[in-house]
């Protein structure tokens, strides 16, 4: 867009060589976009070399009067961000850009000009053209720097999510659960309940239908467990086919009714995998406590009750 605009601008100013140069650059971009639209890295490299070469040739035309050195200095910074870290060649590209910048500076100092016959027009408009080039460079740097911070924030949020969640199910992971329980140890807690879920005969599902079917079962159960009535409940993938549900401010009877309702929902669900319809049940062990500093003991008691339920029929809540 800049080159197309400049092509018209310089034509109107009577600077024909500059207009032709910008037309050629516009055509160049059109060809590169069509040829390498699926290869961003290659497109960036071609763009970078076009900009610094165009800037150098333009200053040869103008005797260094149009401040195209701003483009080169800006691109030396921009190319480092635009190319991914795996591209070690970007340091070489920056070095080439520095050489171009020095060359443009020498053109300015030596007042080298290929078309001296256009010197009066260049002299008359060099201030405005130079200011326009400075503005374009500053806008580019501002845009790229904000894009960088946006991507850094997005990457930080993704990293935080990945460190706190199980990526398959989307539930919180064991690390996050232990972190919040350690953090909450100093808080007063009237009653809380911790329940441990285990999918019944999960190994049989994997052996019969394959691990992808097992993954589908895990996702279905996770979705049901995660769609709780209370927003303050914390659902965790504890490991393998085991899940933990932390229910603050919840006594034994209320927790038992809630867990029975969850188990009913899981029993009523059907996991469809290919032509197969898989029925799923869970066994749950639960324990209620009054002191968060003792939550690890509560987990052990809930785990003992879970295994009692597994040995005595499965598909039940044991309190």
Which tens digits make up the pLDDT trace of 34-89?
A: 888 778 788 888 888 999 999 999 999 999 999 999 999 999 888 888 877 666 77
Is residue 167 domain-resident?
Answer: no
Q: Is 316 helix (H, G, I), strand (E, B) or coil?
A: coil
Average pLDDT over residues 230-250: 92
**Number of residues that this document lists for the chain:** 319
- Closest by Cα among 139, 132, 112, 126 to 56: 112
Question: Considering only 6-15, 51-60, 89-98, 164-173, which range has the smallest mean pLDDT?
Answer: 89-98
- Looking at the structure, do residues 141 and 177 belong to the same domain, yes or no? no
- Looking at the structure, do residues 102 and 74 belong to the same domain, yes or no? yes
The encoded tokens of residue 118 equal 């256009």
- Looking at the structure, do residues 7 and 145 belong to the same domain, yes or no? yes
What's the confidence (pLDDT) of residue 161?
Answer: 86
The encoded tokens of residue 297 equal 């003991």
Q: pLDDT exceeding 90 applies to what percent of the chain?
A: 66
- Looking at the structure, do residues 88 and 201 belong to the same domain, yes or no? no
How many structural domains compose the chain?
A: 2
Average pLDDT over residues 132-137: 92
- Residue span of the structural domain in which 148 resides: 2-162
- Looking at the structure, do residues 158 and 205 belong to the same domain, yes or no? no
Rounded (5°) CA angle 98-103-104:
100
Task: Choose the most confident range, by mean pLDDT, from 29-33, 38-42, 183-187.
Answer: 29-33
Q: In what order do the strands lie in the sheet with 317-318?
A: 172-173, 234-239, 242-248, 192-199, 282-289, 317-318
Q: Mean pLDDT of all residues in the chain? A: 90
What's the confidence (pLDDT) of residue 89?
Answer: 78
Average pLDDT over residues 180-205: 86
Q: How far is CA 88 from the centre of its chain?
A: 23
- Looking at the structure, do residues 309 and 184 belong to the same domain, yes or no? yes
Name the domain boundary from 130, 162, 194: 162
- Look at residue 104 and tell me whether its pLDDT is greater than 90: yes
CB 317 within 8 A of CB 260: yes
- Closest by Cα among 103, 97, 67, 70 to 82: 97
What residue spans of 36-68 are helical by DSSP H? 40-62
What's the confidence (pLDDT) of residue 262?
Answer: 94
Catalytic annotation, residues:
241
- Looking at the structure, do residues 39 and 158 belong to the same domain, yes or no? yes
- Looking at the structure, do residues 192 and 122 belong to the same domain, yes or no? no
Half-sphere exposure of 90 (CA within 13 A, CB side): 17
What's the confidence (pLDDT) of residue 29?
Answer: 86
CATH number of residue 295's parent domain: 3.30.70.270
The encoded tokens of residue 88 equal 């070690």
What's the confidence (pLDDT) of residue 188?
Answer: 61
- Looking at the structure, do residues 15 and 151 belong to the same domain, yes or no? yes
Strands 234-239 and 192-199: unpaired
Residue 234: partners with Cβ closer than 8 Å, 6 or more residues away: 172, 177, 180, 245, 246
Average pLDDT over residues 222-251: 90
């Amino acid at each position: 867009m800049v080159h197309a605009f400049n092509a018209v601008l310089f034509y109107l100013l009577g600077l024909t060589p500059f207009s032709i140069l910008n037309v050629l650059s516009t055509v160049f971009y059109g060809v590169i976009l069509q040829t390498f639209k699926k290869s961003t890295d290659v497109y960036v490299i071609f763009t970078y070399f076009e900009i610094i070469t165009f800037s150098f040739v333009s200053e040869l035309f103008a005797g260094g009067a149009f401040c195209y050195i701003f483009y080169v200095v800006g691109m030396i910074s921009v190319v480092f961000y635009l190319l991914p870290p795996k591209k070690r060649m970007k340091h070489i590209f920056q070095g080439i850009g520095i050489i171009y910048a020095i060359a443009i500076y020498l053109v300015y100092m030596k007042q080298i000009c290929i078309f001296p016959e256009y010197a009066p027009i260049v002299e008359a408009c060099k201030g405005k053209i130079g200011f326009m080039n400075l503005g374009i460079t500053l806008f580019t740097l501002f845009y790229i720097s904000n894009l960088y911070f946006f991507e850094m924030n997005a990457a930080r949020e993704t990293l935080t999510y990945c460190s706190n969640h199980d990526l398959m199910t989307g539930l919180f992971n064991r690390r996050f659960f232990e972190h919040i329980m350690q953090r909450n140890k100093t808080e007063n807690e009237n009653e809380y309940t911790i329940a441990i879920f285990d999918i019944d005969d999960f190994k049989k599902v994997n052996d019969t239908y394959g691990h992808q079917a097992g993954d589908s079962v895990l996702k279905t159960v996770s979705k049901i467990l995660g769609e709780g009535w209370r927003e303050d409940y914390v659902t965790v993938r504890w490991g393998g086919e085991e899940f933990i549900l932390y229910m603050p401010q919840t006594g034994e009877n209320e927790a038992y009714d809630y867990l029975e309702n969850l188990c009913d929902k899981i029993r009523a669900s059907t996991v469809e995998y290919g032509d197969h319809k898989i029925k799923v049940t869970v066994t749950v062990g639960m324990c209620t406590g009054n002191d968060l500093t003792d939550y690890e003991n509560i987990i052990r008691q809930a785990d003992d009750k879970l295994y009692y339920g597994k040995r005595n029929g499965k598909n039940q809540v044991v309190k």
